[in-house]
Amino acid sequence: MFQDSPIYDRLIAERGDIPLQVRREAERVSREVEFAMQPLLQSGQSLLPPGGPPPAPGRPTQPAPTWQRSALPPGQQQR
C-alpha cells in the first residue's frame, strides 16, 4: 500500500499499523452483525418498522417528495 514511504514506515514502527487494526476490527464487527442478523433475515421479517424508520430526535419530519429529477445521459443539456 505505502511502498517506499519512510514516513509511513516510521509511524507504523512508533504507533502500530492503525489502518490495518481498524480494517480488521471493521471486518470482525461486520461478521458479528451478519451472524446476529441471520435469524431475522432468514425469517423474512422486515428490518424496518412499517412506514420506514422513525425520524431522528429533534428533527422535524418532512413530507415525502412527490417527484425526483433523474440524471441526464452524457451530452444532453437540461433546459
CA distance 38 to 44: 10
Residue 73 has pLDDT above 80, yes or no: no
CA distance 40 to 75: 45
Cell of 63: 413530507
The confidence band for 16, taking pLDDT boundaries of 50, 70 and 90, is very high
Q: Are 8 and 2 in contact (CB under 8 A)?
A: yes
Average pLDDT over residues 18-46: 88
Element (H, E) at 15: helix 6-15
Cell of 49: 418498522
pLDDT at 33 over 80: yes
Instruction: Please tell me which residue, 45 or 38, carries the higher pLDDT value.
Output: 38
